Amino acid sequence: MASVQVVNVSLPSLPSGWSADKDFKPVGALSAAVQRNIEPVGPHFLAHARRKRHARTFSEDERIQAQQNVKKTEEDEDEDISEDEDPMMLSRDAKDWKAQDHYAVLGLTKYRWRATPEQIKRAHRKKVLRHHPDKKAAMGQRDENDNFFKCIQKATELLLDPVRRRQFDSVDEAADIDPPSKKDVQKGNFYKLWGPVFKAEGRFSNKQPVPQLGDEDSTQESVETFYNFWYNFDSWRSFEYLDEDIPDDGEGRDQKRQTEKKNANARRKRKSEDIARLRELVDECLALDERIKKFRQQARAGKDAKRKAKEDEAKRLIEERERAKAEEEEKKKNAEEAAKAEREEKKKAKEAAKNAAKKNKRVLKGSVKDVNYFADGEASAAQVDAVLTDVDLVMSKIDVDELAELASRLTIAGKDSGAVKAAWAAESQRLVEAGKLKGGEVKAFA
Amino acid sequence: MGDAVNGASETERFAIGISFGNSSSSIARISPEGKAEVIANEEGDRQIPSILSYIDGEEYHGTQAKAQLIRNSSNTVAYFRDYLGKDFKSIDATPCHQSAHPQQKDSTVAFTIRDTESETRNTVTVSEITTRHLRRLKQSATDFLGKEVNAAVITVPTNFTDAQREALIAAAKAAGIEVLQLIAEPVAAVMAYDARPEATVTDKLVVVADFGGTRSDVAVIACRGGMYTILATAHDYELGGASLDQVIIDHFAKEFIKKHKTDPREDARGLAKLKLEGEGTRKALSLSANAQLSIESLVDGIDYGSTVNRTRFELLSNKVFAQFTGLIEQVVKKAELDVLDIDEVIFSGGASHTPKIAQLAANIFPETTTILAPSTSTSAINPSELSARGAAFQASLVQEFDAEDIEQSIHPMVTVTPHLSKAIGVEFTSNNETSFQPLLNADTALPARRIAQYTAPKEGGDVLVRVCEGAREIKVTKPEPKTKEEKPADDEDSDFDSDEEEEDIREIVWKTENPVAELAVKGVKAGSKVEVMVHVNPDLGLQIAVREVGGSTAVRGAINGSA
């Protein structure tokens, strides 16, 4: 941007008589600018956007960018780890390399299994610069002790070999984080105490990324995923590193084989122990996990609510059924009572009718008797008999209503023999017309 | 939003450049060595036809799908890019005549195709088709690079509306691609050239002629200090490679009619075959002087084979070529510029391989203009790959940025800037005449800063630096009429030459128009140089500093801006 372009043209000489304050003379202004859209692409645009958004000038931006670039390289250098060296460690015997903490030797205890090969290489270089035997000699330390240098070489060699590094990482107890005691958990934050434990254990997982413990707000799903993951943990942890050395002196194949067998057994045993240990660890964590209780409670609360709703529903149904039953019974009872009353009513009416008929019949019979059987004097037995026979005949042929009507007519007729006879005659005549009697059958009223 | 940010931070972003065209698409990325490279798909194609085809629920993509245009045209979707984000009323359905036809669905465009194993036909929206297409492109890139691609910079035409942009971003998201940015196709083409390591940042005016399969777009772009401003654009939606294919098709169809008395164009399948093979023949003619066409069972079971040479093709296509060059002239005019102002012409798009187009364009422009097409320049980049390369370059630049950061940077607040309306420069003397040369060209985005060194007068002494605005004028001089008697017996060729020579000589002349400031540098040593630094603020304020190269004291001055 700030590149200098060289123009091969020559500038005019200063005309005589030209003068200005500080040799600068403004003589005009620029013509109006045109607003246009620049295309937001390319590195120069990005620089423009940066300047505009942060309101920087060209030189400011250049300076800041330069500073940032410088900082980056500095950090790279600075990242190197300078840890204090334990004098005990410095005096280690290189022959005992298996027991040494390789990360501590290289000063990478902060990183351990997280250290990148790049970091290991840099740490190695740094340590070598300090501990090279030649340097020691130059500094006047005459003892030819290059043990620690050998330790460094051993550590680097091992850590840069991915297979051997895994073997060491598998048994690197310094990277383990012990699970907190129950007391600690009761006092402190469960998630803060247990989280790092699983983070450390997670380094052995074949499956990455490893789900984290989370916090009290984690969803049930994530918590379940977490525990499922840990109960089905797929670990690459192995225990070759702790193998007993196989004697290489050719002392005998048998001994060699025996040691191999022993080693294999030991590995298997340790592996199963490790699996058991992890399972116990997860069990312990699960037992203390408040979230599980919370979820269970929630589930139970949900279940209870459901059950209660179910019971209420059943209760309601029963009540309804009972009410319906009672209603029905009442209805039945009412109906029965009504029927009974009706029956009695009918009976009464029937009796009344019967009585009325009886009374009317008496009136009928009485009427003829009152008029002395239509006889002028003392009625002869035969006449009485004839009249009564006819009366009975008519009575037998007429129904209750006609009987009542006839009775009332006869009552009006009273003791007038002619009227009574006329009434009887009319009645018998009507019966004949109705076809109930044959003409001539009733003779006494003619 | 939060999720998106988290997702981006958890899984590393891996971005590529995608050029999504109507006829074909390309994917590109920046290799670890910093070179842009276009990725081939599983079939080895770098220009992947933007076509999807379905047979019994199986999806075919690219070249395989293109072959289906003959047998399975109703289940083949092609040329759908321009339908995205548009309503049915405003689309041009002509290109889809020989594939699945676009239909209206709600407010968008859809295709009815059998895309599952069942017999029923489904209505698939153009967004869904785009998603499927982009998913295939993503898969190809992922397979090639061996690493999940999850972000991209996609190129779009300059006249893509906001609705179309949103539809494209949504479709890409559905395909699992985070769109980092949509960039204009012509700008991507310029950037593909500027991103080359050997390129230097210069001020130039560039015409980008993008001649695609079905449409042509031309843009004039001002490159000022590495920043790009589009000055004018012109579009022709009917002109493209297909127009040239039509010439070839008609040519062979006529030949066929002569022999067999039937017109293969009347048969749908015959036409599809002719179209597919004709396109291949046309492309072959761009590379060699002769090309063959052979189609088995074109119509009525007749096998047909013939050849055509380039000269014949160019003669037949004269009219179409004129349309291409006309479009270029039109856009230069629209930008209120002269062909003399144009420093570079970049040919992009598939049809730009045609040698004659570039040659004809070269005739329009003066000799000083660089014509970047395969037939005129050996250093030209494959025109079909330009936009994808530019997009890949931009993707590599913004890959590390947060989505929010990108959004803020491409906001109009940042992109809309004042541009100089006139060039600013310094007056100088040559041959005892005062003359002018621009230091900051017109259309430079502000703020801007330029530094230049000028030679001082030979004898040294005091020097005047006069900063002024300049105007460009086209000077037309009639060439001296040549005496015809000199060459009376010339053959036709030289006659033709003399005709050309009689054309007016046109050249650019700069004139001082409006002096802005004068500065004096005193006591300059003989043969030394004077460095001038001009800084223009967005409010048109100026800061000028002048010093002798190697000198310790500088003369400074400032002119306050208007606002």
Q: Are residues B143 and B113 in the same domain?
A: yes
Which residues in B lie closer than 8 A to residue A22 (C-beta atoms)? 555-557
Residues B237-284 pLDDT 10s: 989 999 999 999 999 999 999 999 999 999 888 999 999 999 999 999
Q: Which of A140-149, B150-159, B199-208, B549-558 has the lowest mean pLDDT?
A: A140-149
For residue B483, pLDDT beyond 60: no
Q: Which residue range is the domain that position B530 belongs to?
A: 423-472+508-559
Residue A27: list chain B partners with CB under 8 A: 515-518
Which of residues B147 and A440 earns the better pLDDT score? B147
Interface contact B453-A24, CB threshold 8 A: no
The string of pLDDT tens digits covering residues B430-447 is 666 777 888 888 888 888
Q: Which residues are registered as beta bridge partners of B113? A: B122
From A297's Cα to the closest Cα of chain B, the distance in A is 30
pLDDT above 80: residue B563: no
- Check whether residue B21 and residue B158 sit in a common domain: yes
Contact B188 A41 (CB under 8 A): yes
Instruction: Select the residue of B409, B415, B519 nearest A23 (Cβ to Cβ).
Output: B519
Any A CB within 8 A of B446 CB: yes
Contact across the interface for B427 and A45, Cβ inside 8 Å? no
The encoded tokens of residue A241 equal 């590193």
Chain A, chain B: beta-carbon pairs less than 8 Å apart: 229
Which range has the worst mean pLDDT, A354-363, B233-242, B318-327, B342-351?
A354-363
Map tokens 């050395």 to a residue: A245
pLDDT (mean) for B197-211 = 89
Pick the last residue of a domain from B276, B299, B318: B318
Measure CB to CB from residue A14 to each of B415, B445, B520 and give the nearest one: B520
Q: Is the pLDDT of residue A1 over 70?
A: no
Residues 87-126 of A with CB under 8 A from B: none
- Considering the domain boundaries, does residue B97 fall inside one? yes
Residue the block writes with tokens 């937001």: A40
Do B22 and B105 sit in the same domain of this protein?
Answer: yes
* B231, part of any domain: no
Task: Point out the residue among B221, B445, B519 whose CB comes nearest to the CB of A24.
Answer: B519
Q: Using CB atoms, which residue from A13, A29, A38 is nearest to B462?
A: A13
B-chain CB neighbours of A35 within 8 Å are 416-419
Residue B404 belongs to a domain with what CATH number? Answer: 3.30.420.40
Contact A13 B201 (CB under 8 A): no
Range 326-355 of B in CB contact (< 8 A) with A = none
**Is it the case that residue B151 has pLDDT exceeding 80?**
yes
- Nearest by CB: B465 against A5, A11, A36: A11
Taking residues A83-96, report their average pLDDT. 78
Given a cut of 80, is residue B227 above it in pLDDT? yes
- Provide the pLDDT for residue A56: 81
Instruction: Tell me if residue B269 falls in helix, strand or coil.
Output: helix
B283: nearest Cα among B35, B17, B45, B37: B45
For residue A57, the chain B residues in CB contact (below 8 A) are 447
Residues A223, A212: Cα–Cα separation, whole Å: 9
Q: Is B197 on the interface with A (CB under 8 A)?
A: no
Which of B229, B421, B455 shows the shortest C-beta gap to A33?
B421
Q: Give the residue ranges of DSSP H helices in B234-317.
A: 241-260, 268-287, 310-316
Together in a domain, B15 and B158: yes
Are residues B32 and B118 located together in one domain of the fold?
Answer: yes
How far apart, in whole angstroms, are the C-alpha atoms of residue A274 and residue A237? 9
Helix (H) or strand (E) holding B451: strand B448-455
**Chain A nearest CA to B120, separation (Å):** 39
pLDDT of residue B519: 84
Token output for A228: 């499922």
Instruction: Return the minimum-mean-pLDDT range out of A68-82, A250-264, B184-198.
Output: A68-82
Among the listed residues B433, B457, B376, B419, the one whose alpha carbon sits nearest the alpha carbon of residue A36: B419
With an 8 Å Cβ cutoff, are A12 and B555 in contact? no
Domain-embedded: residue B402:
yes
If one counts every other C-beta atom within 10 angstroms of the C-beta of residue A181, the result is 10
- Give B-chain residues touching A15 at CB under 8 angstroms: 464
pLDDT bucket at B562, cuts 50 / 70 / 90? low
Contacts of A52 in chain B (CB under 8 A): 413-414, 417
CA A156 distance to own-chain centroid: 52
Instruction: Please name the member of A10, A26, A42 whose beta carbon is closest to the beta carbon of B429.
Output: A10
pLDDT tens digits, B309-345: 999 999 999 999 999 999 999 999 999 999 999 999 9
Residues B152 and B259 in one domain: no
Q: Please indicate whether, in this complex, the C-beta atoms of A43 and B466 are within 8 angstroms of each other.
A: no
Same domain, B66 and B100: yes
Task: Please tell me which of the candidates B194, B229, B428 has its beta carbon nearest to residue A12.
Answer: B428
**Do residues B219 and B331 lie in contact, with contact meaning Cβ atoms separated by under 8 Å?**
yes
Does any domain span residue B125? yes
**HEC string of A300-361?**
HHHHHHHHHHHHHHHHHHHHHHHHHHHHHHHHHHHHHHHHHHHHHHHHHHHHHHHHHHHHHH
Angle of CA points A69, A71, A76, to nearest 5°: 105
Residue B373 inside a domain? The answer is no
**Residue B481 counted as domain residue:** no
Instruction: Give contacts of A 313-342 with B, CB under 8 A.
Output: none
Residue A417, pLDDT score: 76
Nearest to B156 by CA among B138, B195, B176, B130: B130
Using CA atoms, how far apart are residues B292 and B248, in angstroms rounded to an integer?
11
Check if the beta carbon of residue B99 is closer than 8 Å to that of residue B66: no
* CATH number of the domain to which B265 belongs: 3.90.640.10
Asked if the C-beta of A250 comes within 8 angstroms of chain B's C-beta atoms, the answer is: no
Q: What is d(CA B134, CA B81) in angstroms, rounded to the nearest whole number?
A: 11
Pairing of strands B108-113, B122-125: antiparallel
Q: What pLDDT, on a 0 to 100 scale, did the predictor assign at position B231? A: 92
Residues of B in contact with A44 (CB under 8 A): 201, 225-227
> Where residue B407 falls among pLDDT bands split at 50, 70, 90?
confident
Spell out the domains of chain A, with CATH numbers in brackets: 87-175 (1.10.287.110), 182-288 (no CATH), 360-433 (1.10.8.840)
A252 CB neighbour count, 10 Å cutoff: 10
| pLDDT tens-digit series, residues A47-79 | 888 888 888 888 888 888 777 776 655 555 545
Give the integer Cα–Cα distance in Å for B31 and B263.
50
pLDDT at A249 (0 to 100): 67
Residue B482 — very low, low, confident or very high, per pLDDT cuts 50/70/90?
low
Please tell me the distance from the alpha carbon of residue A117 to that of residue A106, in angstroms, as a whole number: 12
The mean pLDDT of chain A is 82
Instruction: Give DSSP secondary structure letters for B102-127.
Output: EEEETTEEEEEE--SSSSS-EEEEHH
Question: Is B467 within a domain?
Answer: yes
Token pair in block for residue A445: 């009223």
Long-range contacts, A390-396 (Cβ 8 Å, 24+): A390/A424, A390/A428, A390/A442, A390/A443, A390/A444, A390/A445, A391/A364, A391/A365, A391/A424, A391/A444, A393/A437, A393/A441, A393/A442, A394/A364, A394/A424, A394/A427, A394/A428, A394/A431, A394/A437, A394/A442, A395/A361, A395/A364
Q: In this structure, are B137 and B274 located in the same domain?
A: no
Smallest Cα distance from A45 to chain B, Å = 6
Of A5, A31, A39, the CB nearest to B187: A39
- Give the H/E segment covering residue A6: strand A4-10
Per the DSSP assignment, residues forming a β-bridge with B455 are: A10, B529
Cβ contacts (< 8 Å) between A26 and chain B: which residues? Answer: 516-517, 557, 559
For the entire predicted model, the pTM comes to: 0.63
Residues of chain A with pLDDT > 70: what percent?
A: 91
Residue B8: pLDDT band with limits 50, 70, 90:
very low
Question: Residue with structure tokens 């372009």?
Answer: A5
- Going by DSSP bridges, is the β-strand pair B216-224/B227-236 parallel, antiparallel, or unpaired? antiparallel
Distance, CA of A419 to CA of A423 (rounded, Å) = 6
Say whether both B159 and B71 belong to one domain: yes
The contacts of residue A243 (CB under 8 Å, 6+ apart) are A263, A266, A267
What chain B residue is nearest to A35 in terms of C-alpha separation? B418
Chain A interface test: which of B154, B414, B468, B521 (most A C-beta within 10 Å): B414
Q: How many structural domains are present in chain B? A: 3
Is residue B164 very low, low, confident or very high in pLDDT (cuts 50, 70, 90)? Answer: very high
Instruction: For residue A38, give the nearest of B417, B456, B535 by CB distance.
Output: B417
Label residue A324 by pLDDT band (50, 70, 90).
very high
Pair B436, B428: CB distance under 8 Å: yes
Instruction: Tell the residue number behind the tokens 């208007």, with chain if given.
Output: B562
**Which one of B227, B427, B454 has the shortest CB-CB distance to A44?**
B227
Judged on CB neighbours under 10 Å (0-12, 13-18, 19+), B364 is middle
Please indicate, yes or no, if residue B234 is contained in any of the structural domains: no
State the first-to-last Cα distance of chain B, in angstroms, to the nearest integer: 39
Q: Is the dihedral of CA A258, A261, A267, A268 positive or negative?
A: negative
Query: In chain B, positions 409-438, which contact chain A (CB-CB < 8 Å)?
Result: 409-410, 412-422, 424, 426-430, 434-435, 437
Are B430 and B518 in the same domain? Answer: yes
pLDDT at B498 over 50: no
- pLDDT exceeds 90 at position A322: yes
**In chain A, residues 343-402 whose CB comes closer than 8 Å to chain B:** none
pLDDT of amino acid B430: 66
C-alpha–C-alpha distance, residues B208 and B372, integer Å: 10
Stretch among A365-369, B34-38, B376-380 having the lowest mean pLDDT: A365-369
Return the top range by mean pLDDT from A428-437, B105-114, B506-515.
B105-114
How many CA within 13 A on the CB side of residue A43?
9
- Alpha-carbon distance of B335 to B342, in angstroms, equals 11
Q: At B544, which CATH number?
A: 2.60.34.10
B residues 504-543 near A, CB within 8 Å?
514-522, 529-531, 535-536, 538, 540, 542
Q: What is the pLDDT of residues A194-226, one digit of tens each?
A: 888 888 888 888 888 888 888 888 888 888 888
pLDDT above 70: residue A446: no
- Highest mean pLDDT: which range of A24-38, A381-395, B352-366: B352-366
pLDDT of residue B510: 84
**Residue A373: exposure state from Cβ atoms within 10 A (0-12, 13-18, ≥19):** buried
**Is B551 found in the same domain as B454?**
yes
In chain A, which residues have their Cβ closer than 8 Å to the Cβ of B394? 41-42
Hey, are the CB atoms on A29 and B530 less than 8 Å from each other?
Answer: no
- Nearest by CB to B414, which of A5, A23, A49? A49
Provide the chain A residues 178-207 that lie in CB contact (below 8 A) with chain B: none
| Count of C-beta atoms within a 10 Å radius of residue B491 | 8
A21 at B interface, C-beta within 8 A = no
pLDDT in tens, B371-385: 999 988 888 999 999
B450 and chain A: CB distance < 8 Å anywhere?
Answer: yes
Residues paired with residue B181 on neighbouring β-strands, in sequence order: B153
Same domain, B277 and B248: yes
Ranking A312-326, B200-214, B455-469 by mean pLDDT, the lowest is B455-469
